Structure 1
Amino acid sequence: MQVRIFALMDEPILDAICERIRHKTYIKGSRILNHGGIIEKMVFVVRGKLESVGVDGIVVPLAEGDACGEELLTWYLEHSLVRTDGKKVRLPGQRLLSNRTVKCLTNVEVFSLRAADLEEVTIYFTRFLRSPHVQGALRYESPYWRSLAATRIQVAWRYRKKRLSRSDSQTI
């Protein structure tokens, strides 16, 4: 229960995740995600420190209770089709590429959930995972989504300042 995202989930989904989760240890200097590489797992940090460096150069520290690869969950929820018989089918050949690099600053102990297992969990618990409350909470707790939001806010603010300065110079 050290992982904050797990605290948001109900017992059935926690049980399904716990059946599929694997305990792993990464040594200092190893990489969990590489920029441009395929995201093959979602990782929940139990112990240790990591850093996530986005393509924009923003560095986000990760520590106990954080997760990386959580965009894989959202991607599976958005990129699956429902057949007429009610079964979900993922579009073949599509894979999610990472837009950041996650590197271990210390020895790190994690719980890892493979992409195939995560896809299976999303199929079983789609209704729960698609609820706005859960999506909002996952994004609020996620360092990835927080840094993405901060970047977009900064861009919007700079655009607004530039637009206002142009309109002020035109009225003079």
Structure 2
Amino acid sequence: MGYLCEFLKPVFFIERTRIIREGDPIDEMLFVLKGNLWTYTSRNVATTSSNSSRCRENRLKDGDFFGEELIAWAQNEHPSNLPISARTIQALSEVEAFVLMADDLKHVLSLRHCDRAALLLQSHWRFRKFLRDRRAKQKSILRRVRNWAAELLTVE
């Protein structure tokens, strides 16, 4: 994992920046450290604004990543063109992230332990997302308990 970290580059996006456009080649993996991004396609951009639950499903936030298609592309011995993005990614807030360029990913995966590197990368970010979701759930439960306790105290 240490070798992979040498290729990660920190990036910063301001609010409303379009990072990846639908139909463009995916030339980087994006790992979100802080901030919120909206992912959409030309087919769902109109419906997302009126459907708030769908809008939440189309977001990337702390611990999420984009560009998983590049792993299969990089593992191919004779890769053709880069995969094409089916979604547009746009910053909803200021975003701090790391990017891993496609050629750098290919180089890292060409080493002896390419499958382990890819799995380690995926599992690391999935574990971060699991922890973030778990913390959010715990905070929600704690908030409900506090509200319940406050209501109980005001009733007496």
TM-score under structure 2 normalisation? Answer: 0.63
What is residue 16 of structure 2 aligned with on the other side? 29
What is residue 109 of structure 1 aligned with on the other side? 96
What is residue 28 of structure 2 aligned with on the other side? 41
Deviation of residue 74 (structure 1)?
2.4
Alignment of structure 1 residues 135-150 onto 2, 5 Å: 141=126
Deviation of residue 98 (structure 1)?
0.6
Deviation of residue 54 (structure 1)?
3.7
Residue 62 of structure 2 is aligned with which of 61, 64, 67?
Answer: 64
TM-score under structure 1 normalisation? Answer: 0.58
- Give aligned-pair identity as a percent: 29
Higher-RCO chain (CA-CA 8 Å, sequence separation at least 6): 2
Deviation of residue 55 (structure 1)?
5.4
- Contact 2:73 2:82 (C-alpha < 8 Å) held by counterparts: no
- Contact 1:42 1:115 (C-alpha < 8 Å) held by counterparts: yes
Give the distance between the partners of 1:47 and 1:102, measured in 2 at CA: 15
- Contact 1:55 1:99 (C-alpha < 8 Å) held by counterparts: no
Question: Secondary structure of the residue that 2:85 maps to in structure 1?
Answer: coil
Give the distance between the partners of 2:26 and 2:96, measured in 1 at CA: 19
Give the distance between the partners of 1:29 and 1:23, measured in 2 at CA: 19
How many residue pairs match? The answer is 113
Q: Deviations over 1:102-157 (max 9, x none)?
A: 10000100011111101111111323257xxx39x65x94xxxxxxxxxxxxxxxx
Give the distance between the partners of 2:96 and 2:117, measured in 1 at CA: 26
- Contact 1:44 1:65 (C-alpha < 8 Å) held by counterparts: yes
- Contact 2:70 2:82 (C-alpha < 8 Å) held by counterparts: no
Gaps of at least 5 residues in structure 2 are 45-53, 127-156
Deviation of residue 72 (structure 1)?
1.0
Give the distance between the partners of 1:47 and 1:24, measured in 2 at CA: 11
Question: Secondary structure of the residue that 1:20 maps to in structure 2?
Answer: coil
What is residue 49 of structure 2 aligned with on the other side? none
- CA RMSD in angstroms, aligned pairs only: 2.5
Q: Deviations over 1:11-54 (max 9, x none)?
A: xxx11211111111011111111100011110100110001114
Q: Report the CA distance shift for 1:28/1:76 in structure 2 as closer, same or farther (over 3 A).
A: same
The answer to whether residue 110 in structure 2 is matched with residue 123 in structure 1 is: yes
